[in-house]
């Protein structure tokens, strides 16, 4: 057990801390609360599915232009195309639903 913790010939233990370790521990503590779990249960089905569609189907893995303004513009285009595809899909669903009602 001791051999796994001690490094080099001097057999000294080397402990390092990352720059944002305190902030990371604070977030971990907050995320373990029941409130955070409830919020993220909703987020799981509300916010994550668009990204699950955008990445593989729309092939959005990175932005082609540099700079915050260019990325914002690109992101607006991606979101617009995603929302338009949802709108078209819903229009077809409504069309088939109403056509069966009229027939």
Q: How many helices (H) and strands (E) does the chain have?
A: 5, 2
Are the C-beta atoms of 78 and 54 separated by less than 8 Å? Answer: yes
The predicted-structure confidence for 34-92, as pLDDT tens digits, reads as follows 998 888 888 888 878 888 888 888 888 888 889 999 999 999 999 999 999 999 999 99
Whole-structure pTM value: 0.55
Give the CA radius of gyration of the chain: 24
């Amino acid at each position: 057990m001791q051999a796994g913790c001690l490094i080099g010939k001097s057999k000294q233990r080397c402990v390092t801390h990352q720059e944002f370790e305190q902030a990371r521990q604070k977030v971990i503590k907050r995320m373990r609360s029941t409130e955070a779990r409830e919020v993220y249960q909703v987020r799981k089905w509300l916010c994550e599915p668009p990204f699950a569609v955008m990445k593989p189907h729309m092939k959005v893995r990175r932005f082609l232009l540099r700079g915050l303004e260019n990325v914002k513009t690109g992101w607006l285009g991606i979101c617009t195309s995603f929302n338009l595809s949802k709108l078209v899909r819903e229009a077809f669903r409504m069309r088939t639903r109403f056509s069966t009602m009229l027939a």
